[in-house]
Structure formats: structure tokens, C-alpha cells
């Protein structure tokens, strides 16, 4: 009976809870675990936000590339789905100078010490996509930075500056050629600069006269002179005769607007016309005029000689006329 009571009280005493020492030990263990696990959890959350920001940047880059394929100028084009509120919730803000030529997300201050600057650039002529980043001072996000930009995850501006220089040159080329094209569309007469691939600058001079392009001033002057001459000659597209045209600095011999090349050749064509007209009139008189002598047509060569008509027949000599029935009946 005594042993039973002793064991009973022992059980009651043991079930009353932890001793002070035991509680202190447990709390110390929990505190140590929290010091280890909570920072890891917070770091994981921050890295996940960075990864989500990188996914958004991939989406923006895709939009920019689609715009490039559709012919948009990257320096004036931006992703249509961009939302400042969305990137703010991830601890970022857009660089105010961002466009599809270069798009940047900068970490918000005191929001995420692991966050790093995320960028992408697109070549405005080639469409080449380059990702860059500036790593955080915290090494925990370095792998995430390198997964985005590789060797271009760097605080050094050397590699980035090289790509920026390449793409700026491409953009300058597009602007230069676009300005020249727009100027040329106005059908000017003069000179303007376009892109020089040798010097990689907008310094190549071309001369344009309306739709004609020349690579030297002498060729331009010749083209301009020929075009002005041609335009002046068109004013005489139906003209027949001799004409000096100042724009051509030359005398032309036109026959129905065609330059015959010499006065003699022009006269030959005029005589042929007169002969043809004479023959038509002679034929009309043969059919309708009475028998007898008919005068020739003026300025008509042989067709202009006098002739005789006998019963709708043409007799070209006096002897033929005297031998005809018409002469005998007189």
C-alpha cells in the first residue's frame, strides 16, 4: 500500500509540466532555429520576387521584338503590357528613360537588399537581344543575376558599354537613313548626308534631283541638266520645225515632236508629207474634175507639175493628152 501511494504521487508530480531549466532549454533551441530558418525564408521570398521580375522582363523583351518585326522604331516603342504598380510590388521601378532600345528595372530603395538592376537591350537594326544586370552588394542574389545576364552581370561598365555603343551606332544609322529617305521622298534637288558604313557615321553625301541619285556633284549636275532638257523638249512634243532650247544649249529639228538630228532630214520628212498631200488631192481631182489640164500643187516636187485628166485618167505629159480621145473630141 505504501509503494502504491509513493508511485501515485510520483506520477502526479511528473505530469505537472516542464521545469524552469527545461523550458529555458526549449526556448533556446527554438530561438536558435528561428535565427537560422527565418532569414532563409525571407531570402527565399526576396529571390522569388526577383525571379518574377525577370519573368516580366522576358515578357517585355518579347513584346519589343514583336514590335521590331512589325517595323516599329525601338527608340520610340515600349512594351504595351508594362504596369508600374506590378513591378513596384516586386520591389522595382522602371528607369524613366526606358524604351525597347534599352529597358531597365531599378530596385526600390530599402525594399529588397538582394534586388539588382535588370536590363535588356535590342539592336535596332539586327534585332539582337542582350541581357545585362548590375549585381547587388549581397552575394545571395549573385547566381540569380548571372542566370539573367551571364558575364554581363557585372558592376564594370566595359562589356555593357561595348554593346551600348554597337546598338547606339545601329540606331544612329537607322535615324540617318530614315531622314535621308524622307528627304528624298520630297523629290528635292540638292545634296544630303546618309550613312557611311566605312566611317560608321552619317557623313556620306549623296546628290538627288527628283528621283535620280548621284554619288558625285558632277554626275548630279549632268543628271539635272539632262532632266531639265528633257522636260523642256516635252513642250514641243507635237512641234515641227527648227527650235533652239536654252536648257539643252542646242538647236533641234523637230518633225511632229521628234528630233530628226539635222535640218536636211527634217526637210526630207516635210517634202514626203507634201508629196503625200499632193497625191491625195490629185486623186480627188481625178475622180471629180472635168477633162482637161489641171495645175500642180505648190511645193510638192514632181507631184506639183501640171497634168491632164481624160475620162478620170491622169495624163502626165502634153503628148499623152494630144493622143487621147479627150483631145480629139475638142
* Domain residue limits, the chain: 44-168, 186-234, 265-328
Which of 11-25, 118-132, 282-296 has the weakest average pLDDT?
A: 11-25
3-state helix, strand, coil in the chain (%, to 5): 50, 20, 30
Average pLDDT of span 187-209:
94
Q: How far is CA 49 from the centre of its chain?
A: 39
Please give the pLDDT value at position 301: 66
Which of 47-51, 98-102, 243-247, 319-323 has the weakest average pLDDT?
A: 319-323
Strands (E), the chain: 92-94, 102-107, 117-122, 129-134, 189-196, 201-209, 212-214, 241-245, 250-255, 258-259, 292-294, 307-310, 313-315
Residue 144 pLDDT class (50, 70, 90 cuts): very high
Mean pLDDT of the residues in the chain: 86
Residues 6+ apart with CB under 8 A from 166: 123
Please give the pLDDT value at position 322: 85
Residue 12 pLDDT class (50, 70, 90 cuts): very low
Query: What global pTM score does this model have?
Result: 0.60
Residues 6+ apart with CB under 8 A from 23: none
Cell reading at 30: 527554438
CA distance 94 to 128: 22
Amino acid at each position: 500500500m505504501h509503494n502504491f501511494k509513493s508511485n501515485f504521487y510520483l506520477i502526479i508530480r511528473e505530469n505537472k509540466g516542464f521545469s524552469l531549466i527545461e523550458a529555458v532549454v526549449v526556448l533556446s533551441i527554438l530561438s536558435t532555429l528561428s535565427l537560422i530558418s527565418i532569414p532563409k525564408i525571407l531570402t527565399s521570398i526576396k529571390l522569388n520576387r526577383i525571379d518574377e521580375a525577370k519573368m516580366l522582363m522576358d515578357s517585355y523583351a518579347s513584346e519589343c521584338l514583336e514590335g521590331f518585326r512589325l517595323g516599329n522604331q525601338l527608340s520610340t516603342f515600349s512594351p504595351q503590357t508594362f504596369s508600374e504598380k506590378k513591378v513596384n510590388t516586386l520591389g522595382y521601378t522602371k528607369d524613366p528613360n526606358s524604351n525597347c532600345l534599352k529597358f531597365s528595372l531599378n530596385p526600390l530603395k530599402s525594399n529588397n537588399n538582394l534586388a539588382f538592376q535588370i536590363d535588356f537591350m535590342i539592336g535596332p537594326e539586327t534585332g539582337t537581344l542582350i541581357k545585362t544586370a548590375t549585381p547587388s552588394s549581397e552575394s545571395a542574389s549573385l547566381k540569380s543575376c548571372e542566370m539573367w545576364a551571364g558575364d554581363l552581370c557585372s558592376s564594370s561598365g566595359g562589356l555593357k558599354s561595348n554593346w551600348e555603343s554597337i546598338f547606339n551606332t545601329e540606331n544612329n544609322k537607322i535615324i540617318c537613313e530614315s531622314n535621308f529617305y524622307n528627304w528624298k521622298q520630297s523629290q528635292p534637288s540638292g545634296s544630303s548626308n546618309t550613312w557611311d558604313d566605312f566611317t560608321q557615321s552619317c557623313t556620306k553625301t549623296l546628290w538627288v534631283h527628283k528621283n535620280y541619285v548621284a554619288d558625285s556633284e558632277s554626275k548630279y549636275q549632268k543628271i539635272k541638266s539632262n532632266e531639265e532638257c528633257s522636260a523642256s523638249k516635252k513642250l514641243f512634243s507635237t512641234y515641227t520645225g527648227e527650235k533652239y532650247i536654252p536648257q539643252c544649249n542646242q538647236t533641234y529639228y523637230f518633225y511632229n515632236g521628234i528630233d530628226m538630228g539635222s535640218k536636211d532630214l527634217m526637210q526630207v520628212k516635210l517634202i514626203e508629207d507634201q508629196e503625200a498631200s499632193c497625191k491625195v488631192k490629185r486623186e480627188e481631182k481625178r475622180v471629180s474634175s472635168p477633162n482637161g489640164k489641171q495645175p500642180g500643187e505648190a511645193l510638192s516636187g514632181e507631184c506639183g507639175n501640171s497634168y491632164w485628166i481624160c475620162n478620170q485618167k491622169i495624163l502626165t505629159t502634153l503628148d499623152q493628152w494630144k493622143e487621147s480621145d479627150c483631145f480629139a473630141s475638142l
